[in-house]
Amino acid sequence: MTPLLELRNGTKEYRGIPAVKDVTFTLYPGEVHALLGENGAGKSTLTKMLAGVVEPTAGEVWMDGKKVELKTPSEALKSGIAMVYQETSLVPSLTVAQNLYLTDDKHFHRLRGIYIAGQQFLQSLNFHVDPTALVSSLGAGQKQMVEIARAVHHNARVIIFDEPTSTLTPEEKYQFFSLIDRLRKNNVSIIFISHALEEALQISDRITVMRDGEHVITDDTSNFDRDKIISAMVGRSLSDELHGTHKERKVRRAGEKVLSVQNLSMQNIVRNTSFSVFSGQITGIFGLIGSGRTEAAKVVAGVMKRNLFHGGQVRLNGKPVRYRVPRPAVRDGIIYVTEDRKTEGFFETMSISENIYLGALAGGQTSARGVNMREMKTIAEKWIKALSVRAINGDASVIELSGGNQQKVVIAKALVQKPKLVIFDEPTRGVDVGAIVEIHHLIDRLADEGIAVMVISSYLPEILQLSDRILVCRQGRIVEEFAGQKTDEETIMYAAVH
């Protein structure tokens, strides 16, 4: 069978540094091909070469057995290759139908005309999206549907998904997988980049694993299992370290009650919720996206404000506190480590040392009145070593680090403030497998040292592995509490969705 799309010996260098080295990748008609690897393995760069977003430094792209040169994404689209990005590329202020027909060659569209055409088209794909709705009013899953519909509308024969499921709820994921099945039946080939190995095993026909810009292995999915993929990804077997060991681990006893929240409310998102967090213990909070877990944590840390009336009460070590800005919370030892490090985590114009030192300055942990360069260096070196941040030195810019190392810098910036209560919100989102293990060890160590730790996560194995106590959040309220070792994934999920 001739491959539909091929990259032959493709290399891409960014200023002399190779992101992809001499990789050959083939895609057959009607197959779902999962592309796996740690962050920085070169998956995105590889697909961008295929989609005409970047030009290969060396190597060729072949389509239907002929050499092609794809200089821009729109050229690639014309030859039938569409890419669906992590961040959606839709125009939020236009309606669904306007977005669908945005790049058509017609110069004028009648609104009524495209609404009718859009309705029929979306129905033919079995997508339940209103073509007259503004894109900004849609949820993540529906936006993804519109992106896919647009790709199908352009008669794409190859659709490339870059981490399609990371923003979807379980229900939306289910819909997404059935959609992939339908596309496969229509002989559309799919490249699927993901961090979720189960998903790749579930829906793909073949799997390619990359590491450090190089091709490691390509084989039929039936020849893979979780362990084999992980060891190919990291070059060592991490599966035991990552999952499954929680059964043998000892549960930590609760220390003092550090935080107690009573009847907390914030708009319609957090509804009259109550819970407590104890020192020397990890309290895991599980909930689906939109269940109000992040917002509840942000109110506790002063990042968001609770309702003015009937907003409830937060007590820190028994004393009622109410923070309107994070600064007093930070000074009292409540530190929130964000789930979204790019927009509210680190400072991109600053070096690693400056980021960490800024945390110390703002938390009042420096000895001098002003800025002391020598102190900055010692503090930064200590934390870079403690968290094994991998960078050339402390002067490296944070924006140039991998996701895992960026996350470590954000965590260092929080821990330098000597917290009594740390709230980790999705601590391992967008972090490579090796760093996940290190961050988990670090969180364990914090609890062993007697700090109260809260971990918010929508990844069940992570919650099960870390927590001594598990709280389940649903529709803005903590609805259920489990002891860490006496439960399993199904029980928790059942509590979270019903």
- Least distance (Å) between residue 414 CB and other proteins: 8
Site pattern 191..230 for other proteins (x: CB under 8 A): ----------------------x-----------------
28 binds other proteins (CB under 8 A): no
15 binds other proteins (CB under 8 A): yes
65 binds other proteins (CB under 8 A): no
In angstroms, the Cα distances linking 137 to 89, 94, 125, 127, 290 are 15, 10, 21, 16, 15
Q: How far is CA 376 from the centre of its chain?
A: 31
Indicate which single residue of 19, 152, 261, 352 sits in contact with other proteins (rule: CB under 8 A): 19
Burial tier of 397 (Cβ tally within 10 Å: 0-12, 13-18, 19+): middle
State the Cα–Cα distance between residues 188 and 190, nearest whole angstrom. 6
492 binds other proteins (CB under 8 A): no
List the structure tokens of 103.
Answer: 């790049």
47 binds other proteins (CB under 8 A): no
Helix or strand (DSSP H, E) at 278: strand 270-278
Indicate which single residue of 78, 110, 128, 331 sits in contact with other proteins (rule: CB under 8 A): 331
363 binds other proteins (CB under 8 A): yes
DSSP string, 289-350: TTSSHHHHHHHHTTSSPPPSSS--EEEETTEEE--SSHHHHHHHTEEEE-S-HHHHT--TTS
* Closer Cβ to other proteins, 325 or 483, answer by number: 325
To 10 degrees, the CA torsion angle through 418, 424, 425, 428? 120
- Least distance (Å) between residue 168 CB and other proteins: 19
Site pattern 343..362 for other proteins (x: CB under 8 A): xxxxxxxx---x--xxx-xx
Give the max Cα distance, the chain: 73
Indicate which single residue of 3, 29, 73, 326 sits in contact with other proteins (rule: CB under 8 A): 326
* Closer Cβ to other proteins, 162 or 480, answer by number: 162
166 binds other proteins (CB under 8 A): no
Q: Which amino acid is at 310?
A: H
Indicate which single residue of 65, 247, 392, 486 sits in contact with other proteins (rule: CB under 8 A): 392
- Give the footprint of other proteins on this chain (CB under 8 A): 14-17, 19, 39-42, 44-45, 53, 213, 301, 303, 325-327, 329-331, 336, 338, 342-350, 354, 357-359, 361-363, 369-371, 392, 396, 399-403, 406, 413, 417
